[in-house]
Amino acid sequence: MTEKLRSLHYLNDETFARGWALGRAQGRGYGPKRIEQELKSKGIGPSLIRDALRETFDEVDEAAQAKRLLTKHFKGGDFTEPKTLRRAAAFLQRRGYSSKVVLNLLRYPIEDD
């Protein structure tokens, strides 16, 4: 039975990892660290995870995605207030964005496009 599923590409870790990563990045706005953690918990190997994340974040701009999440979640938030700034940084880190992306994004005021 397993061989039949593999031949039909129903059991293919590479395809699964790519689809999962892209879906989580585009659909939920998750960053690479969060997606990596989820794929590890599903038993996907490190090399497949690395490839899936590379492909996904070639298609999805990590900084732009993080900015969209902030403007959606913190509508009218004043990022000059330390409390709001800390909450925004923690929110993005829980979503799986790197410290570099978080710091670059929150160092400058969020402007509407």
Judged against a pLDDT cut of 50, whether residue 112 lies above it is answered with: no
Q: What is the pLDDT of residues 38-55, one digit of tens each?
A: 999 999 999 999 999 999
The pLDDT score that the predictor gives to residue 10 is 64
Same domain for 54 and 83? no
In a domain, 80, yes or no: yes
For residue 53, with 0-12 CB atoms within 10 Å meaning exposed, 13-18 middle and 19 or more buried, which class applies?
buried
Same domain for 35 and 9? yes
Same domain for 28 and 16? yes
The whole-model pTM stands at 0.78
In a domain, 112, yes or no: no
Average pLDDT over residues 25-49: 94
Residue 93: domain span: 62-107
Q: What is the DSSP string of 38-96?
A: HHHHTT--HHHHHHHHHHHHHHS-HHHHHHHHHHHHTTT--TTSHHHHHHHHHHHHHTT
Three-state SS sequence of 1-43 = CHHHHHHCCCCCHHHHHHHHHHHHHHHHCCCHHHHHHHHHHCC
Same domain for 101 and 54? no
Q: Return the structure tokens found at 67.
A: 């900015």
Same domain for 6 and 54? yes
Q: What is the pLDDT of residues 52-106, one digit of tens each?
A: 999 998 888 888 899 989 989 988 777 888 888 999 999 999 999 998 999 998 8
Same domain for 27 and 76? no
Total domains, the chain: 2
Same domain for 66 and 88? yes
